[in-house]
Structure 1
Amino acid sequence: MPEKKTFKITHNRKWCKNCGICVAVCPKKVFEIDRSDRHAIVNPQDCIGCQMCVEHCPDFALIVVEVKNE
């Protein structure tokens, strides 16, 4: 059985306007809006690396890269 791929999500808070698009487009619910209406990465272990958040972010505030498991 192949090992599950893991991904690192980098969020640039200086660029992010907290529009919530990443929350809306993520199929795995990796993101949420927290109590202070800020974007939060709450389930990074569930990321499948689909890049939907990166492709739809109008602020270019997200980067998703695969982490090589050794």
Structure 2
Amino acid sequence: MFKIKIDENRCKACGLCIHFCPKQVLAFSEKRNLQGYKIVYAKNPEACTMCGICYLVCPDIVFTKEDENEKG
């Protein structure tokens, strides 16, 4: 099983992932990253179908797939 990991410090708040998410999983947080941008977070993680659209549309490589079975 995989889950999407969000690298908060790479996010530049462009909003593409939020706009294109078909299940409205993502939203902007009030929290800001080191560059001062509002970060994206999974507002409705239970709705995520792992479609990967956020991963594909993000220009800043904020999203990565993480194997939940790997321990490191």
- Whether TM-score is above 0.5 comes out as yes
Residues in 1 aligned to 2:67 and 2:47: alpha-carbon distance in whole angstroms: 13
Give the TM-score taking structure 1 as reference length: 0.73
User: Aligned Cα RMSD in Å?
Assistant: 2.1
- How high is the TM-score relative to the length of structure 2? 0.71
Match of 1:28 among 9, 23, 34: 23
Partners of 1:47 and 1:8 in 2: how far apart? 9
Matched residues, number: 63
Q: Which runs of 5+ in 2 are unaligned?
A: 32-37
Aligned to 1:15: 10
Tell me the equivalent position of 1:58: 59
Shift of 1:32: 0.9
Aligned CA distance change for structure 1 residues 64 and 47 (closer, same or farther; 3 Å): farther
Alpha-carbon offset, residue 48 of structure 1 = 0.7
- Structure 1 distance, partners of 2:44, 2:68, is 16
Deviates more, 1:58-67 or 1:41-50: 58-67
